[in-house]
Amino acid sequence: MRNDAGELGMEKKTLHPNDFPVVADGKALVTQDGVAVANAQSESLAEDIANRLNENAARKREDRWAL
């Protein structure tokens, strides 16, 4: 939902490592604690975004261990 300024009605949040994995629940992206962090335009887009975020988080986790 957009507000009068044309912005999405969700508050901007930063994802932290303990928020992963992120899952798609319909059009919503939800952290493992059940907190909705974003909405996508479609369910398939939400799935794609969740997969990409989870892959990126896993890569960052592996990079930290590689140091």
CB atoms within 10 A of CB 50: 21
pLDDT of residue 67: 67
Residue 40 to residue 64: CA distance in whole angstroms? 30
Q: Is the CB of residue 24 less than 8 Å from the CB of residue 41?
A: no
Q: How deeply is 22 buried, as exposed, middle or buried, from its count of CB atoms within 10 A (0-12, 13-18, 19+)?
A: buried
pLDDT in tens, the chain (67 residues): 344 444 555 566 689 999 999 999 999 999 999 999 999 999 999 999 999 999 999 999 988 887 6
pLDDT for position 14: 85
* pTM across the whole model: 0.76
